[in-house]
């Protein structure tokens, strides 16, 4: 049952992101910025904690964090523990990107 809930939550988040892309909104960019800024305040945080602080759904936060990881701005752990929580950590390149965003 828990796995089914996670799959449904992921699908809902993915559909919300797809809707925003179709309508030409730049939500992911704002999400990326919010997540990077939250991570810059500390070394690492769990995906649920980050999504709560950045005020985005957990599935949307995970999608954005995976893309940020592909860009080398964050590192994500694999799912671990009884709760299957992933931890995101900002990289030096991520800190430099936050500094660039704050300057301009």
SS3 (DSSP) at 82: coil
Query: What is the DSSP pairing of strand 74-76 with strand 44-46?
Result: unpaired
Number of domains in the chain: 1
pLDDT, tens digit, 9 for 90 and up, residues 50-66: 999 999 999 999 999 99
Q: What is the pLDDT of residue 53?
A: 94
Angle CA 38–60–80, to nearest 5: 75
pLDDT, tens digit, 9 for 90 and up, residues 66-99: 999 999 999 999 876 666 789 999 999 999 999 8
Instruction: List beta partners, residue 10.
Output: none
Domain that holds residue 85: 2-103
Nearest-CA neighbor of 37 among 29, 67, 18, 13? Answer: 29
Q: What is the pLDDT of residue 39?
A: 94
Mean pLDDT of the chain: 81
Per-residue pLDDT band at 40 (split at 50, 70, 90): very high
Angle CA 55–2–50, to nearest 5: 20
Q: What is the pLDDT of residue 94?
A: 93
Q: What is the pLDDT of residue 54?
A: 92
Q: Domain containing 6 — which CATH number?
A: 1.10.10.10
Strands in 24-95 per DSSP E: 44-46, 74-76, 87-90
Would the pTM count as exceeding 0.75?
Answer: no
């Amino acid at each position: 049952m828990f796995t089914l809930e996670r799959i449904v939550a992921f699908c809902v988040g993915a559909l919300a992101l797809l809707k925003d892309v179709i309508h030409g909104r730049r939500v992911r960019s704002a999400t990326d910025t919010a997540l990077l800024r939250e991570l810059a305040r500390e070394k690492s945080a769990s995906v649920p904690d980050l999504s709560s602080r950045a005020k985005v759904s957990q599935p949307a936060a995970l999608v954005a964090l995976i893309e940020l990881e592909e860009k080398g701005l964050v590192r994500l752990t694999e799912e671990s523990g009884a709760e299957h929580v992933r931890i995101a950590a900002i990289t030096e390149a991520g800190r430099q990107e936050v500094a660039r965003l704050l300057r301009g």
